[in-house]
Structure 1
Amino acid sequence: MIEPIPNPKSEKPQVQCPFNVAVIGGAGHVGLPFGLVLCDFGHRVTLVDTNAAQLERICQGNMPFEERGADSLLPCCLESGRLHCATGMNVLSDQEIVIVTIGTPVDEYLDPSLRAFDQVLEQIFNHCRPGQLLIVRSTVFPGVTERLGRIVKERGLDIDVSYCPERIAQGLALEELTHLPQLVSGCTTQALERATEFFADLGLETIPLSTVEAELGKLYTNSYRYINFAISNQFYMLAQRYDADFDRIYRAITHNYKRMNGFAKAGFAGGPCLLKDTMQLASFNHNLLTLGQTAMEVNEGLPGFLVERLKQHHDLTTATVGILGMAFKGNCDDPRSSLSYKLRKVLTLDCRRVICTDPFVHNPDFVSVETMLTEADILILGACHDEYRELQTDKPLIDVFGFLPGKQP
């Protein structure tokens, strides 16, 4: 059994040996918070991204997305003179450490799509210099890191390749990056040692694994959550078929009963990671992750189930249905892979009109909460934004999450 290395520091230190660090994908939801944390610890950080408009906004001290604490940290990093932005890979020759945080999506067949990842790595290899440490933080299919190690060796590139996956919750990255244990691995003993020293110097607990163990560890983390949500969503559907209140059942069976501590609330399981990573784990594994495939069918089928239940009680052809929240989760401005959009699409086929609102996601077609409460005949909660918590209405309200007061139609 591998024992975690204890955290040697109780307070945030400044690193004793600052490095020049490039964060590839540095304007994104993973790369930007990590770059800010590294800069705050004393490293000299260059955010590298092809999104020039996003980088320009960052250079002006404005966060391009919601991230708790980042609005105040970003200007401090810029004022320190340690934070820089670049759109080209030519800056890599000046770096000691290169960190890859780009997204790795699945294709239309729900298989890992590595083409963009490979293209970025090819550019990195063309601009790298001897002695660099390459840390991959992106979610990758098992075996990808060892493949990178073989490519580096075949080309005679004198760089160390490490895989250290991120495990942050979007919106809480700055806090979690300074507290969560870090899974570290390397294609060589030297790469593992260098990656371990890098994260330990931030005062973080590090847990050494082989590269494939670290890759699986990241995929397991998100797949476990996705499957857990599917269990709850399946139970929610079963309760609905019996005209039972799932939220009352949930509260009853979890109250002072520790064996149910891991029982998730029901609700939309969307976002850019959970489904994607579950499908990456399922791909090319000879149907060994049948739980993942089933979870996808349950979670992705929830919007359609809600509409079918509504049709049993309401004539939707004459109704206006309002969706409260279009982000993929509460208090977030990221609409990527949000099931609220799938719900809107399904509703559009059956309803007279569908209207949407969200305090974080800006869309000229969205209406205000006040307009929605006036014009909608039926309300459905799509995201658990705090702004909705005290919402009062006598309209029929569907709240799968058990977040709002209201009567289930």
Structure 2
Amino acid sequence: MNEQAAQAETTQVQHPLNVAIIGGAGHVGLPFGLALCDCGHTVTLVDLNQSQLDIIRAGQMPFSEINADQLLPRALETGRLHCSTDFADLSTQDVIIVTIGTPVDEYLDPSLRAFDQVMEEVFQHTRPGQLLIIRSTVFPGVTERLGRLIAERNLQIDVSYCPERIAQGRALLELTQLPQLVSGCTEQACQRAADFFSDFGQEIIELSTVEAELGKLFTNSYRYINFSISNQFYMLAQRYDADFDRIYHAITYRYPRMNGFARAGFAGGPCLLKDTMQLASFNHNLLTLGQTAMAVNEGLPGFIVERLKKDHDLTGLTVEILGMAFKGNCDDPRSSLSYKLRKVLTLECRRVLCTDPFINSPDFVSLETILDESDILILGACHDDYRGVQTTKPLIDVFGFTARQEP
């Protein structure tokens, strides 16, 4: 067993539980379910995405996740993993875990309608004594509101909020490495959630529900704002025709006070912008740092194209984007700024080509075609396949990835 697999191994629980995960076929729910199966619980993935569940039943992962290809077949063979589209299966469970996405609306305010609809369905199939754990990112105050609704209906279930903080693609590793934030609408709910997560051998940190909700939002908002600082500095360096990567190395080298300085690059994905906007909405849109960060990060693709136009007549050129996922070595295109870059380039260039080794799309071409037919290359995602790529054509690498030494 390799080191990563050993890190993901968990101990067998003494008192196995029946656990349902709503949104269980997704990037948060499925790895969590596999980890729970691996330590002895029986898990039912409840999800309305029938095609995704069919893939899982066949023993195939619908997306990339370290160690999941080994754990999924094992969970199915032991009979601990089940799939369902029927919320009625919730009534037989000891623990119900909610991992559905919580989007923002067209005004970038939290949209609670989908969450409320799911919870109404859950309420129809609960029984007294169950533990309900919310792992979705929610607007501050949602958990206490949920607790009041459950008390008013006398459902007699314990409600806790325990946010996930894993990096997509590394969930099975980090579930056994990172401390778990735990909260509950009552002391009993908090203690039950703490006992449940202790099976992973994690350190448990207890908070109030609103502290846990804000803790998750603070985490993603901090990262998003931090990326925007680096991206703003990158833009400033470009305006002075200075090499941002040389500056980055110089000011971070053996200088601990700059350890938190992120590299420049696209800050996309399904969480960072959304959660920053949720935090801004909670503060009546007074989180000006978050709104400024959005302007910087979302403006980076346009800035890149404007800089290219200074030195090239793009109207007759073919420009290629290397990597369309929202981050490196990932197969998830959700909210990837590479697509925004493609849209801007389409208005300016003769032709735009895209490639990605992790994403299948009829619109994409091979790396060989890219290197042969493009006039300019732009790095969109830091996939290992692109490390040290050899080309004599201009390569725009905001991340400083292609010239970086492999760790």
The alignment's TM-score, normalised by the length of structure 2, stands at 0.96
Per the TM alignment, residue 11 of structure 1 is displaced from its structure 2 partner at its CA by 7.7
Asked if residue 18 in structure 1 is aligned to residue 3 in structure 2, the reply is: no
Structure 1 counterpart of 2:365: 367
| Partner AA of 1:128 in structure 2 | T
Structure 1 counterpart of 2:64: 66
Specify which of 302, 316, 319 is matched with residue 318 of structure 1. Answer: 316
Task: String of CA shifts for 1:309-333, please: whole Å, max 9, x gaps.
Answer: 0000000000000000000000000
Mapped to 2, the partners of 1:210 and 1:55 lie a distance apart of 35
1:149-228 → structure 2 map (5 Å cutoff): 149-228=147-226
Mapped to 1, the partners of 2:199 and 2:334 lie a distance apart of 34
1:382-393 → structure 2 map (5 Å cutoff): 382-393=380-391
Task: String of CA shifts for 1:212-263, please: whole Å, max 9, x gaps.
Answer: 0000000000000000000000000000000000000000000000000000
Structure 2 counterpart of 1:89: 87
Mapped to 1, the partners of 2:225 and 2:345 lie a distance apart of 26
Specify which of 260, 279, 296 is matched with residue 262 of structure 1. Answer: 260
Per the TM alignment, residue 390 of structure 1 is displaced from its structure 2 partner at its CA by 2.5
Mapped to 1, the partners of 2:160 and 2:324 lie a distance apart of 37
The alignment's TM-score, normalised by the length of structure 1, stands at 0.96
Contact preservation (8 Å) 2:140, 2:282: no
Per the TM alignment, residue 403 of structure 1 is displaced from its structure 2 partner at its CA by 0.4
Per the TM alignment, residue 200 of structure 1 is displaced from its structure 2 partner at its CA by 1.2
Aligned residues: 397
Task: String of CA shifts for 1:342-380, please: whole Å, max 9, x gaps.
Answer: 000000001000000000011011000000001000000
Structure 2 counterpart of 1:289: 287
Ranges of 4+ aligned residues in structure 1 off by more than 4 Å? none
Per the TM alignment, residue 285 of structure 1 is displaced from its structure 2 partner at its CA by 1.1
Contact preservation (8 Å) 2:128, 2:155: yes
Per the TM alignment, residue 289 of structure 1 is displaced from its structure 2 partner at its CA by 1.1
Asked if residue 402 in structure 1 is aligned to residue 400 in structure 2, the reply is: yes
Q: Percent identity?
A: 78
Match of 1:350, SS? coil
Mapped to 1, the partners of 2:83 and 2:305 lie a distance apart of 46
Taking a change above 3 Å as real, the CA distance of residues 395 and 384 of structure 1, as seen in their structure-2 partners, is same
Task: String of CA shifts for 1:23-71, please: whole Å, max 9, x gaps.
Answer: 0000000000000000000000000000001001101100000001101
Per the TM alignment, residue 284 of structure 1 is displaced from its structure 2 partner at its CA by 3.9
Specify which of 125, 129, 132 is matched with residue 123 of structure 2. Answer: 125
| Partner AA of 1:209 in structure 2 | L
| Partner AA of 2:367 in structure 1 | V
Contact preservation (8 Å) 1:165, 1:183: yes
Structure 2 counterpart of 1:107: 105
Asked if residue 30 in structure 1 is aligned to residue 28 in structure 2, the reply is: yes
Task: String of CA shifts for 1:69-99, please: whole Å, max 9, x gaps.
Answer: 1011100111111110000101001100000
Per the TM alignment, residue 132 of structure 1 is displaced from its structure 2 partner at its CA by 0.3
In structure 1, stretches of 5+ residues that fail to align are 1-9
Specify which of 237, 240, 259 is matched with residue 239 of structure 1. Answer: 237
Mapped to 2, the partners of 1:184 and 1:292 lie a distance apart of 26
Contact preservation (8 Å) 1:392, 1:405: no
In structure 2, stretches of 5+ residues that fail to align are 1-7
Structure 2 counterpart of 1:349: 347
CA RMSD of aligned residues (A): 1.1
Per the TM alignment, residue 204 of structure 1 is displaced from its structure 2 partner at its CA by 1.4
Mapped to 2, the partners of 1:336 and 1:287 lie a distance apart of 25
Per the TM alignment, residue 286 of structure 1 is displaced from its structure 2 partner at its CA by 2.7
Contact preservation (8 Å) 2:39, 2:199: no
Contact preservation (8 Å) 1:15, 1:202: no
Task: String of CA shifts for 1:95-117, please: whole Å, max 9, x gaps.
Answer: 00000000001111100011111
Mapped to 2, the partners of 1:138 and 1:177 lie a distance apart of 15
Structure 2 counterpart of 1:252: 250
